[in-house]
Amino acid sequence: MTADSRRLEELLDREIELAHALTSTLTAEKTALTGDSPQAVEQNAAEKISLFASIEKLEQERRELCANPLGAGIAASVAQRWGLLLKLMAGCRTANEVNGHIIHVRQHQVRQLIDIVRGGPSITYDPQGKTFAKALRALARA
């Protein structure tokens, strides 16, 4: 095994560790998003950004290393690590998309509540489940 192949395995191992950490962070972020602690959301978002940056740095190193031919002897060990990394990152992508959807739903709920408090039209649903605005009188007037 060459030094480059060992270095590639080490890079992939570090990326796998970071992907596991990212999975945990995304789970914690989802919990924070469904809770009511803005500080926890901020903390998890900052951790997620930091992990993404670290993964990107390792990925750049891996690309540079793979630009040179490494030989056929490393195929099995690298393929196993690469497969695991791809599986972990696919799970992270899905978890991040779910968290993004939660954020979008929360933003929509907040906008609806603000509209109601301001006396704007509320959102109601027809029998087919489609939304439409229905005028309401203001909750309070100054």
10-36 pLDDT, tens per residue? 999 999 999 999 999 999 999 999 888
126 CB-near residues (< 8 Å, 6+ apart): 132
Radius of gyration, CA atoms only, the chain: 23
**Model confidence at 110: pLDDT above 50:** yes
Q: How do residues 36-48 score in pLDDT, each as one tens digit? A: 888 999 999 999 9
**pLDDT beyond 90 at 69:** no
Q: Is residue 136 part of a domain?
A: no
- How many domains does the structure of the chain reveal? 1
**Which CATH number does the domain housing residue 93 bear?**
1.20.58
Percent residues over pLDDT 90 in the chain: 48
Instruction: Determine the structural domain holding residue 87 and report its residue range.
Output: 3-105
Of 79, 95, 91, 124, nearest to 28 by C-alpha is 95
Provide the mean pLDDT of the chain.
84
In a domain, 127, yes or no: no
pTM over 0.85, yes/no = no
- Within the chain, where are the H helices? 3-34, 38-66, 75-117
Q: Which residues, in sequence order, are CB contacts of 82 under 8 Å at separation 6+?
A: 12
